[in-house]
Amino acid sequence: MGRSLSPAPIQPIIQTSMSDSPQHTTPGTSDSVNREVFRPIAGILAVLFPGAGHVYLKQTWRGVGVAVGVLGLFFGGILIGGIDVVDRNEDTIWFIGQAFVGPIAFATDRYHQTRLKAHEKVVSDGKYIPGAMRTGNPGEKREMRQNIPVWEPTAGGRPPNSKSLAHPNEIGTLFATIAGMLNLIAILDALFHRESRAEIDLNAPADSTDPEAEPSAKPAKEGA
Amino acid sequence: MANFFTLAQAWRPMLDPLPIGEYWPFLLIPLALGISIAYKAVRVGSREAYLKSVVMMTTQIVLAMIAMGVAAYLFIWFVIPAITPISA
């Protein structure tokens, strides 16, 4: 009955959705540190190598964390399922996710397609015609015939890699694809960087740490 | 286990699939750890809280997956037979 109808005073709380911890804001600097800043060079570096974008932004520990996590998952997936889990031609949908790991994923696929796979052996009038490209089976050996890699049945032959099946293939593919998805998050974070997650070093000079910082933004402390 | 070591002798790392056999569910732990390391590196606010956040998230993922596995087991073996009587 005796409640006041006047609204509660609005507290000047600055909050972002990208942080797990309370924001470190200072009067007069909150606008600049909470703004997303477009960092194209950091984004490109993050695409080229996992974590490189954050290292460029002087957040080395974040870059190392991203690199360890993404590359650990990617190469862990290859360790579990074999290189067969990275296959642009046979597992195209999965490779779309893996591609976000960057040039490493494309190089892995290139090596798989050109060095490990070979064509089904098809001979017509003494000429080798490239058949379907595939992984070798046990009892086959990869041989070059008229500059075309083909599978030749050989007693005791062992192809350079094995086709992965069942759980190792599923889990290895999952590892490598999740690595790409996580690196996409890191790429976007480096590309649209938000200063507010970093601890602010009030004593640091304005242009000492951030290579792309705008003059109004407070620099992020290294390792913060 | 003896079968695992026999197969592992012929295993070529990165070229052949890991002969892990029936132990594949344990791969959930490195999967959860890798996800936590990369995700928390982007997400967490300070370096001091990073390791704790990684351990916390890894534990949460593993426990949540175990809980969902138990829930799915109970649902399939007890709830479904109770609501859909199967005639002999």
Mean pLDDT of A179-201: 82
Lowest mean pLDDT among A63-72, A191-200, B21-30: A191-200
CA separation for the pair B28, A1 (Å, rounded): 57
Is the pLDDT reported for residue A70 higher than 60? yes
Instruction: Over range A215-219, report the average pLDDT.
Output: 44
Q: What proportion of chain A, given as a percentage, has pLDDT over 70?
A: 71
At residue B49, does pLDDT exceed 70? Answer: yes
Residue A196's pLDDT is: 62
For residue A46, pLDDT over 60 is answered with yes
Secondary structure of A56-115 in the HEC alphabet? HCCCHHHHHHHHHHHHHHHHHHHHHHCHHHCCCCCCHHHHHHHHHHCHHHHHHHHHHHHH
**A21, A73, A78 member nearest B46 (Cβ):** A21
| Percentage with pLDDT > 90 across chain B | 64
CB B21 within 8 A of CB B3: yes
Domain ranges of chain B: 25-88
Query: Which of B13, B47, B53 faces A224 most closely, judged by CB atoms?
Result: B47
- How sure is the predictor about B54, in pLDDT bands with cuts at 50, 70 and 90? very high
pLDDT of residue A218: 44
Task: Write out the two tokens for A82.
Answer: 């074999």
* The predicted structure's pLDDT at residue A80: 95
Token representation of residue A26: 């200072």
CA distance A14 to chain B (A): 15
A164 contacts chain B (CB < 8 A): yes
In angstroms, the separation between the Cα of residue A54 and the nearest Cα of chain B is: 9
The answer to whether the complex's ipTM is over 0.90 is: no
Pick the closest to residue A154 from A138, A141, A137 (CA basis): A141
Closest B-chain CA to A161: B15
A143-187 residue pLDDT tens: 888 888 888 888 877 888 888 889 999 999 999 999 999 999 999
pLDDT at A20 over 60: no
CB contact under 8 A, A81 and B27: no
Asked whether the beta carbons of A115 and B47 are under 8 A apart, the reply is no
Point out the residue among A63, A161, A223 whose CB comes nearest to the CB of B15.
A161
Average pLDDT of span A14-27 = 41
- Model confidence at B33: pLDDT above 70: yes
**Residue B41 pLDDT more than 70?**
yes
- Interface check for A60 against chain B (CB to CB < 8 A): the answer is no
- The answer to whether the CB atoms of B17 and A162 lie below 8 A apart is yes
Pairing of strands A148-153, A140-145: antiparallel
The yes-or-no verdict on residue A201 having pLDDT over 80 is no
A162 part of contact set with chain B, CB < 8 Å: yes
Which chain A residues are within 8 Å of B15, Cβ to Cβ? 82-83, 116, 160-162
Rounded CA separation B34/A99 (Å) = 18
Q: Which of B53, B25, B24, B48 is nearest to B38 (CA)?
A: B53
Does residue A19 have a pLDDT over 50? no
- Overall pTM > 0.80: no
- Report chain A's mean pLDDT, rounded to a whole number: 79
Q: Residue A39 CB: number of other CB atoms within 10 A?
A: 22
A31: pLDDT confidence band, cut at 50, 70 and 90?
A: low
First CA to last CA across chain B, in angstroms?
40
